[in-house]
Structure 1
């Protein structure tokens, strides 16, 4: 069986409202389950691909600060 995890995750949240997406993210973070990490990764990939260079720089700065 050939499962494209990225595609499946994107299909699962396609068309969701901002509130639904927020709940998905908060649920994944609050549960802290390892199985949720790929989904968060795919969501981050979507954010990254659709961000300006300025937004990317801000995200990297935030990430760097958060990992100190």
Structure 2
């Protein structure tokens, strides 16, 4: 069976508005494990639409977040 998870996730969220997309993000961040692949696809969309400057800002924020999470 050929399952393309990325396409399935995009299909499931294709009609979502900002409120629904935010709910998906919040659910994943709050520990809803089944939402994590969707969060990855959403991040991929953000990353591919971002300028180099925006990507650097995201990397800086991510690095800070990792440092804070691992120092606790």
For residue 2 of structure 2, give the secondary structure of its aligned residue in structure 1: coil
Length-normalised TM-score, structure 1:
0.88
| Whole-angstrom distance in 2 between the partners of 1:65 and 1:9 | 28
Larger radius of gyration: 2
Length-normalised TM-score, structure 2:
0.84
Q: CA RMSD in A?
A: 1.1
Q: Give per-residue Cα distances to partners, 1:2-48, cap 9 Å, x unaligned.
A: 11000000111113111110011101221x14332211111110110
| Whole-angstrom distance in 2 between the partners of 1:35 and 1:17 | 20
Stretches of structure 2 that go unaligned for 5 or more consecutive residues are 68-72
* Segments of 4+ moved more than 2 angstroms: 33-36
Aligned length: 67
